[in-house]
Chain A
């Protein structure tokens, strides 16, 4: 019997040796549309990556030439797109088993696996090279590290093996503020590290809220997400537990004197609301995914929360600088 902690054999075989699946055979002679290549880059995830990197770049001290700043954000977006494409390349067989991801270009049979691999590797290499040549080596090194971390550590190693996949894998999505700051200053300082910590600690409650109401999908795909392995009650407790240090990381820049009261006040209020929603999830005993309203509310608010905090950070830093 296949255990939940083992990766999909079909997924590994196809991904590692390039074995063609039935879907890729069907599309072997039909070139993929450009829209499918765009879909490989996970544009919705990219928007959050771009926003956090851009805010860190704008909040960093010192002027940045607009062209260099634009290039830094472009490279960050391309790097995130490359990581998304390589994730879809590796997980094509797992995606086919989940309702949420079955329509993606590879499981949908609109693109062959090798095209996705070439696209991801090419885009990733280009983004890192351009960042290194046009911006600076530190930003390029962090970008390369984030792509490799997302693909090798999160996608290939952690995700199919442990329910802690989201906890450690969250680091992959937390790199963009470091990249934005490093692109502007050539250094890594305390504030971008706190922003890294914020996104890193935000990722588990954000994804666990989602995994609670898409649990059947993850179970069907054999991915050991926390609700599948440890149950809903433990997941609910973990959502609240991880929200506490996240809220502390969000507010920390204010008492440390790195931001003003504008950011501090907004971060305190928004984090308080986040904790309230997380507490609602923690005490809920709803087991029907369709009726999980607190979980959906927390998931939706968590996205808004991150946009709000990073936006407030830029406004606050500009108010201070003025």
Chain B
């Protein structure tokens, strides 16, 4: 079975979409970890 040629533009578009989402998620996690640290300190 022959594999159809890969569309480079489509690959780049998907990689860009995943990279942007990953950046947003990592940023969200930084904020969440900060907030958890503050919440834990306040509760002690």
Q: Interface size on B (CB < 8 Å)?
A: 19
CA distance A19 to B24 in the complex (A): 33
Q: B residues within 8 A CB of A22?
A: 1
Binding site secondary structure of chain A: helix
A-B contact pairs, 20 of them (CB 8 A): A26-B4, A28-B3, A29-B11, A30-B10, A30-B11, A31-B11, A32-B14, A33-B17, A33-B18, A34-B17, A34-B21, A65-B39, A65-B42, A65-B43, A67-B35, A67-B39, A68-B36, A71-B32, A74-B32, A134-B36
Contact count band on A: 10 to 19
Give the residue of B15, B21, B35, B38 whose beta carbon is less than 8 angstroms from that of A31.
Answer: B15
Q: Please, what's the 1-or-0 string for A18-56, where 1 marks a CB less than 8 Å from any CB in chain B?
A: 000010011011111110000000000000000000000
How many A-B contacts if CB must be within 8 Å? 39
Assembly CA distance A32 to B15 (angstroms)? 9
B30 at the interface (CB under 8 A from A): no
A30 touches B36 (CB 8 A): no
- On B, residues with C-beta under 8 Å from A are 1, 3-4, 6, 10-11, 14-15, 17-18, 21, 32, 35-36, 38-40, 42-43
Complex Cα gap A74–B29 (Å): 11
Nearest CB on A from B30, distance (A): 13
- Per-position binary interface string of chain A over residues 51-75, scored 1 when its CB falls under 8 Å from any chain B CB and 0 otherwise: 0000000000000010110010010
